[in-house]
Structure 1
Amino acid sequence: MSATTVRDGTEAWNLRLLAQHRLDGHGDTMHVNVHDGFAYVGHMGDDRVGTSVLDVSDPSRPRLVTQLHTPPGTHSHKVQVVGELLLVNHERNPGEMNDLSGTTWSAGLAVFDISRPWKPEQIGFLATPGKGVHRMTFWQSPYVVMSGSDHGFTDQFFIAADLSDPTQPVEVGRWWLPGMFSANGEAPGWPPGRAYKHHHSIIRGQRAYGGWWDAGLVILDISDLSQPRLVSRLDFGAEVSGATHTAMPVPGRDLLVVTDECVKAGPGRPDIEKHVRLVDISDETNPTVISQFPVPAGDYHDRPGRSGPHNLHEMRPGSFSSSRTIHVTYFNAGLRVFDIVDPSAPQEIAYFVPPAAPGCSALQFNDVTVTPDGLIYVTDRAGGGLYILEPEIELS
């Protein structure tokens, strides 16, 4: 392996910067989808900007066309696009929760008509009382699954909704881990200090592959969305795992790529080393870890900000799809690309680590999506906005 240090301090290997956009000073970017020449970008939202829309028909010159704002106390940092519908989450904003007295927020899922991408129009809303929706998967109309909330539960759980009429979304099913429905007399059975909650699920066929935070990996049978059924759960162990974020099925293979999110920031962070794992699901009732991705080499743990994995390119329909190439965001270690042709020994094949944005203390690459032409759209939640990268090698 060799690294190229670019003049501005960027550490890069086999990837180069095509363009960057800081979104008119609102660079606190998170989730990103690209659809029909437009990029839809979610924000942390502490300054009320929730979603940005950019024209990326020329990806070397992205152009901001509009920005949507959030209600008080709310952030909408996740986006999903199918056809002419944009979904954004509404969730209690932890950045505005220092004083809960008198604070309100919007909790649920907002539906926008984007037939005119430069002028999105909200047409529907699904309320999820409580904390709200954290993340959702909307890959094929009319169904969406999400981490949502309701009164009487300890935390967010799995919710499925029908958008056949996008002006009136309807919940059609829900599932939670035993112990979460406290209002029904259920008592948590997990260890003190651990958080069992639904973070994110990815759908393949009749299965939902979910990251359930400290509960690990959960596989659900969703052949009947009104009654999701547990297939299996894999607890990676508190001593080596926590904050399990995403479980992505690898196209054409009985494998999942599972990320744990680094949640502690700064040198000397009191967090265990978080990992990306390959899990064999050839027997879905007994998922088994077969390897871990290599930890990025460098002094990233000594740098400001979070240092470790977060999310990956989820290979949603219409995007870049591969049975061997995996793109992962690593906060201050930037974007890393891996080859899993040999699942027992994943190999790093590219990376891109720019310096922190001007006025910011750390790089924090958060989310990534890759278009069919191989261009990489990656976000920096710490202020850098949207980066568009292109590979210098063939990634298949």
Structure 2
Amino acid sequence: MTSLFPRAARHCGAVVAALLLLPLLASGQPATGAPPNRAVGLADCLPGSRPETGLQGDVPAADRDSGRSRDGFHCNLRLLGTSAGRGGGITSVTYDHCAYIGTFFPGNLLGPDQGVRVIDVSDPTAPVHTTTLTEPAMLAGTWESLKVNRTRELLVGAGVPALTGAGLLSVYDISDCAHPRLLNPGPGTDLALPVPITAHEGGFSPDGLTYWASGTAPGLLSAVDLTDPANPRVIWQGLPGLSMHGFGFSPDGTRMYLANNMGGLKILDVGAVQRREPEPRVPELADLPWTDGWATQHNVPVTYGGVPHVFAVDEAGSGGVKLIDVSDERNPRITRSIKLEINLPEHQDSMIASASGGSLFAYDAHYCAADRPVDPTALACSWTSSGIRVFDVRDPDAIREIAYFNPPARTGENADLWNSPHTLASIIGPPLLAAPSVAQAMLRGEFDPEEAIGSRTGTLAFGDLSTDWCFSPPEWRGNQLWTTCADNGFLALELSPAIYTPPADQLSTTGS
């Protein structure tokens, strides 16, 4: 790794970059009513763990540079089996005893076995690749659109070659999960019959009759009727904001909790679409913005004591995960937050020192899954360079971490990981998506430039793979979590029974 600037120049560069960002930021304060910035309680690691060596969630520069991160870190969560392939795309999903590995364009086309890999996980210690889905949407890159609906046993993915895609949509019957069967050879699959959508993220209504596709540029939201899966057709479209992301739904499917890419939550009344009214309208009921975190990824609806809440996940800006009371759907209220130590404002300088040279993302949440929708007992989250994190959420007033698994870094293996977005993004060195949180820490006087300067700071290009990027939801299977990370591919993990007992009504819940 080569440092491109001397120490003083790097110091000045960081300050100048932050100053350029200031006009783009709001006051730099959390949303009104937001909980104070503090980290959740640390996990108590049992014997046999390989704990982190620095701050909670951090992979220090020393561990990256020495190669220590190639051994990974784990606490109360161990690896059972893996199927790495050539990387895990951005997000992947599971159903029954199978996993479907997302694709990242164009890297997925540069090696053998192009398309969405289907993995049979009947034996979690020895996952088996059964087939590969090669329809146009699967080859074009599925980004965050690859989703499953249990009720109807459907798998859907949209083609997203470059941040936003259009027209391609494939629908599969996964009643035999290891051998999906294409249901729509015409619209969405036939290149001459595109479905008029933009896509980046997607997901199902609870009943599986509607697949919703959202774009990021622009934020076009489309409702695709799948009553007849062979003939997907758009029945409503709207532009609820400049850039939209993922979502979750109320159990009856009439309320959408939509993630605002700029940082926030919108609540939409989608009841008219759910009821299939002939000219549906989708009014906005609430718009809750915040500035401590942005690129809000998705929302996981749950209830506590019968009161509806969502876990809102911020993909960037050290926002972590917010717990929001949505019982008053016109006035949602942030009640708690889940952050790691490395996400706190006073540690953004340390974050720069370790994450530099690792590319665009630093240490941020991406996708979460509650272990049940009613009174959840645990929440598992992919946390980009911090790996898979598991939290005890039985008491919303006392959330604490109970386990983590940060997979072994695959430093120097870029040429073997063409389906990993990390490989392509590693052309860029700095964690650019963390710039707003760094600038806010500077505004508050909580950023020490000396702490930000280290062996990795100033690496502007050709970053390494000194951590993995974990993006996919960790989905619950008893004491196991099935997930996929960008570099290590599919992972079957097991929680220690000493720290987690699955509830009898466990039902992995991601929101869409």
Question: Runs of 5+ in structure 1 lacking a partner?
Answer: 98-104, 181-195, 263-271
Greater shift, 285-294 or 328-337, is seen at: 285-294
Over 3 Å counting, the alpha-carbon distance change for 1:76 and 1:113 in structure 2 is same
Task: Return the index of the structure with the highest Cα Rg.
Answer: 2
Structure 1 position 335, deviation (Å): 0.7
Residue 284 in 1 paired to residue 329 in 2? yes
> What's the counterpart of residue 88 of structure 1?
157
- Structure 1 position 351 matched with structure 2 position 404: yes
How many angstroms apart in 1 are the aligned matches of 2:494 and 2:385? 20
Deviation of the 1:260 alpha carbon? 0.9
Q: 1:117 offset after TM fit, Å? A: 4.4
Larger strand percent: 1
Residue pairs, 1:1-396, within 5 angstroms: 1-3=43-45, 4-5=49-50, 9-23=71-85, 26-45=86-105, 46-48=107-109, 49-69=114-134, 71=136, 74-77=140-143, 78-82=145-149, 83-93=152-162, 107-124=167-184, 125-126=187-188, 127-129=194-196, 131-137=198-204, 139-148=206-215, 155-177=218-240, 196-204=242-250, 205=252, 206-214=254-262, 216-225=264-273, 226-237=280-291, 240-252=292-304, 253-262=307-316, 272-296=317-341, 302-303=354-355, 304-305=358-359, 306-314=361-369, 323-357=376-410, 359-360=413-414, 361=465, 362-381=467-486, 383-392=487-496, 393-396=499-502
CA distance in structure 1 between the partners assigned to 2:233 and 2:200 by the alignment: 15
Deviation at 1:85, TM superposition (A): 2.7
Q: Structure 1 counterpart of 2:284, which letter?
A: L
* RMSD of aligned residue pairs (Cα, Å): 2.9
Deviations 1:252-298 (A, max 9, x none): 54221111112xxxxxxxxx433211112222211111221131459
Aligned residues of 1:294 and 1:347 also touching (Cα < 8 A): no
Q: Give the Cα separation in 2 of the matches to 1:116 and 1:273.
A: 40
Q: 2:225 and 2:483 mapped to 1: Cα distance?
A: 30
Structure 1 residue aligned with 2:510: none
User: Which segment is superposed worse, 155-164 or 299-308?
Assistant: 299-308
Q: 1:222: Cα distance to partner?
A: 1.6
**The 10-residue stretch of structure 1 (248-257 or 123-132) with the greater mean CA deviation from structure 2:** 123-132
Tell me which protein shows more helix as a share of its residues.
2
Contact 1:108/1:133 (8 A) holds in 2 = no
Q: Matched residues in 2 for 1:257 and 1:62: separation?
A: 31
Instruction: Out of 138-147 and 217-226, give the one that drifted further.
Output: 138-147
Supply the distance in 2 between the matched residues of 1:313 and 1:374 (Cα, whole angstroms): 16
Query: Which deviations, in whole Å up to 9, do the C-alpha atoms of 1:172-192 show, x marking residues without a partner?
Result: 223322xx6xxxxxxxxxxxx
The answer to whether the Cα contact below 8 Å between 2:158 and 2:168 also exists between their aligned partners in 1 is yes
Distance 1:335 1:314 in 2: 11
> What letter matches 1:21 in structure 2?
S
Cα distance in 1 for partners of 2:167, 2:233 equals: 15
Asked if structure 2 preserves the Cα contact closer than 8 Å seen for 1:212 and 1:244, the reply is yes
CA distance in 1, matches of 2:208, 2:177: 19
TM-aligned CA distance change 1:278 to 1:320, over 3 Å: closer
- Contact (CA 8 Å) 1:276, 1:309: kept in 2 or not? no
CA distance 1:34–1:340, shift in 2 (3 Å): same
Structure-2 separation of matches of 1:326 and 1:116: 29
> Larger RCO: Structure 1 or Structure 2 (Cα < 8 Å, ≥ 6 residues apart)?
2
* CA deviation after TM superposition for structure 1 residue 113, in Å: 3.4
Query: Tell me, what secondary structure is at the counterpart of 1:311?
Result: coil
SS at match of 1:261: strand
Partner-residue secondary structure (3-state), 1:291? strand
**2:365–2:381 Cα contact (<8 Å) kept:** yes
What's the secondary structure of 1:224's corresponding residue?
helix
Measured in 2, the distance between the counterparts of 1:352 and 1:212 equals 29
Whether the 8 Å contact between 2:95 and 2:177 is mirrored in structure 1 is: no
Deviations 1:92-121 (A, max 9, x none): 335xx9xxxxxxx76332112345545444
Counting matched residue pairs gives 350
**C-alpha spacing 1:217/1:394, structure 2 compared with 1 (3 Å):** same
**Equivalent residue letter for 2:482:** Y
1:356 CA drift (Å):
1.0
TM-score (norm 2): 0.62
Q: Identify which range, 207-216 or 250-259, moves more after superposition.
A: 250-259
Confirm or deny: 8 A CA contact 1:92 1:132 kept in the other structure: no
8 Å contact from structure 2 (residues 195, 232) kept in 1: no
Residue 320 to residue 132, structure 1, CA distance change in 2 (3 Å): closer
| Distance verdict in 2 for CA 1:88–1:22, change over 3 Å | same
Give the Å deviation of 1:32. 2.7
Q: Is the 8 A contact 2:104 2:142 kept in 1?
A: yes
CA deviation profile, 1:76-102 (whole Å, cap 9, x unmatched): 2332233443211112335xx9xxxxx
SS in 2 for 1:344: helix
Distance 2:178 2:402 in 1: 37
Q: Matched residues in 2 for 1:161 and 1:224: separation?
A: 14
- In structure 2, what is the Cα distance between the partners aligned to 1:310 and 1:174? 29
Shift in Å, 1:53: 0.4
Q: Give unmatched runs, 5+ long, in structure 2.
A: 1-42, 52-67, 189-193, 274-279, 415-464, 503-512
Residues 37-67 of structure 1 show CA distances to partners (whole Å, capped at 9, x for unaligned) of 2212212242233311011111121101112
1:155, distance to aligned residue in structure 2 (A): 0.5
Q: Tell me: CA distance 1:395–1:174, structure 2 relative to 1, closer, same or farther (3 Å).
A: farther
